[in-house]
């Protein structure tokens, strides 16, 4: 495990730097060509935010800018000290957020603070339903590529199957020659395919198994190949190319998740190509 983490460090850096630079270049190009337009709803929300910020004095704004990060840092410390995880950790963070909301609302609206707090909570729940409503049909495809496929096919599915997406990755790995170049390309492809289910992590064990296969053949590189497969799976399925994984960020920025995924396609692809080439030299 430590070997994989160590091997992933240079690959993560390369992937992040190359993808970010590529995305920046394409963004500047689109801005120059006039392809990017600021949504009127975003402008309205910015104007509303500016209006609401005038309810607080400059001193109060500075105080809250310091207090809010400190409270969340204390949450992180509390999780480590009290060994909180899962629902307990979620409750701690959620409770802190509600406490911050109440404090800011009382400071802003004075005697009407409690009424405004209720309104903000209602708006938050409405926004949450709006954001995650599309997840229901889109997540169906996610489960179809994994455990849902087994439920549908039932007894007709081979016992050693891991779902249609992972099975495609295994089939790809079984028909390619064994060399470090082909190994790097295969792990990237397998990681990307398993990432299409939208989780970004379900194919990690598969990537490790295939990396071990190539490492035995070429005599080295198990950790590097495993890290490469993980990076490909995470970048494809963890929130850049799969639309349902982009829904929260897209909704907050008021953009179409499918359009955002399309914009991410070329920078992420460039990053994966460069990272794969770098991995070939590190094996």
Same domain, 181 and 273: yes
Q: Which of 10-24, 37-51, 151-165, 231-245 has the highest mean pLDDT?
A: 10-24
Same domain, 216 and 246: yes
Domain boundary, last residue among 132, 155, 188: 132
Residue 254: which domain range? 2-29+140-282
Same domain, 145 and 229: yes
What pLDDT does 185 receive? Answer: 86
- Token pair, residue 198, equals 């939208």
Residue 196: band (very low, low, confident or very high) from pLDDT cuts 50, 70, 90: confident
Same domain, 65 and 183: no
Q: Which of 202, 184, 185 is nearest to 242 (CA)?
A: 202
Query: Cα separation of 16 and 271, whole Å?
Result: 7
DSSP per-residue codes, 163-210: -HHHHHHHHHHTTS--SHHHHHHHHHHHHHHHHTTS-SSTTHHHHHHH
Query: Cα separation of 260 and 239, whole Å?
Result: 10
Same domain, 49 and 117: yes
Q: Give residue-wise pLDDT tens across range 255-266.
A: 777 777 788 888
Residue 35 lies in a domain: no
Query: Cα separation of 198 and 261, whole Å?
Result: 12
As for how many domains the chain has, the answer is 2
What pLDDT does 142 receive? Answer: 59
Residue 267 lies in a domain: yes
């Amino acid at each position: 495990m430590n070997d994989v983490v160590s091997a992933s460090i240079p690959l993560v850096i390369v992937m992040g730097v190359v993808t970010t630079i590529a995305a920046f270049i394409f963004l500047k190009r689109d801005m120059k060509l006039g392809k990017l337009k600021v949504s009127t709803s975003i402008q309205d929300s910015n104007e509303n935010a500016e209006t609401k910020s005038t309810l607080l004095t400059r001193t109060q704004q500075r105080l809250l800018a310091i207090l809010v990060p400190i409270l969340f840092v204390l949450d992180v410390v509390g999780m480590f000290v009290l060994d909180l995880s899962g629902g307990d950790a979620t409750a701690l963070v959620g409770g802190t957020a509600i406490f911050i909301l109440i404090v800011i609302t009382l400071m802003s609206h004075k005697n009407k603070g409690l009424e405004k707090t209720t309104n903000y909570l209602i708006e938050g729940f409405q926004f949450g339903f709006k954001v995650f409503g599309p997840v229901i049909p889109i997540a169906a495809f996610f489960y179809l590529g994994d455990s849902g496929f087994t439920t549908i096919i039932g007894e007709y599915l081979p016992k050693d199957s891991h779902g249609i997406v992972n099975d495609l990755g295994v089939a790809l790995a079984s028909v390619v020659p064994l060399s470090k170049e082909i190994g790097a390309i295969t792990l990237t492809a397998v990681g990307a395919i398993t990432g299409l289910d939208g989780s970004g992590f379900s194919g990690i064990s598969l990537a490790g198994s295939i990396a071990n296969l190539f490492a035995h053949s070429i005599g080295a590189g198990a950790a590097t190949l495993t890290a490469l497969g993980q990076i490909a799976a995470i970048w494809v399925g963890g929130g850049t190319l799969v639309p349902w994984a982009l829904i929260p960020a897209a909704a907050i920025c008021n953009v179409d998740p499918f359009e955002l995924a399309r914009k991410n396609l070329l920078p992420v692809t460039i990053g994966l190509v460069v990272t794969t080439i770098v991995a070939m030299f590190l094996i």
